[in-house]
């Protein structure tokens, strides 16, 4: 995707992600946006990276949400203000 050339603003891309952001995957018609959702989708699809038991799955979800909510926001804030 060529951001400066406005690839993210085309109707075709906006149909996949109305927010006009990457990453987006299109897995044989299964369109998934949001980095965390994509990782969870791929983890589940791999059959190896997502535990099948509820307690194990809860740990994967816990650390994904931690990365996106608790870690990413302050790290980005520090990075952007440096």
Residues at the site binding ligand GSH, with contacts judged by CB under 6 A = 3, 8, 20-23, 34-35
Contacts of 17 (CB under 8 A, 6+ apart): 8, 24, 31, 33
Cβ pair 31, 24 in contact under 8 A: yes
Q: Closer to ligand GSH at the Cβ: 35 or 50?
A: 35
Q: Which residue is nearest to ligand GSH (CB)?
A: 21
Q: Closer to ligand GSH at the Cβ: 54 or 82?
A: 82
Q: Closer to ligand GSH at the Cβ: 56 or 71?
A: 71
């Amino acid at each position: 995707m060529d951001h400066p050339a406005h690839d993210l603003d085309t109707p075709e891309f906006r149909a996949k992600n109305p927010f006009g952001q990457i990453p987006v995957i299109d897995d044989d018609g299964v369109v998934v946006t949001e980095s965390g959702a994509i990782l969870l989708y791929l983890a589940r699809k791999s059959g190896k990276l997502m535990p099948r038991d509820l307690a194990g799955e809860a740990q994967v979800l816990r650390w994904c949400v931690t990365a996106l909510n608790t870690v990413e926001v302050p790290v980005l804030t520090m990075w952007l203000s440096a």
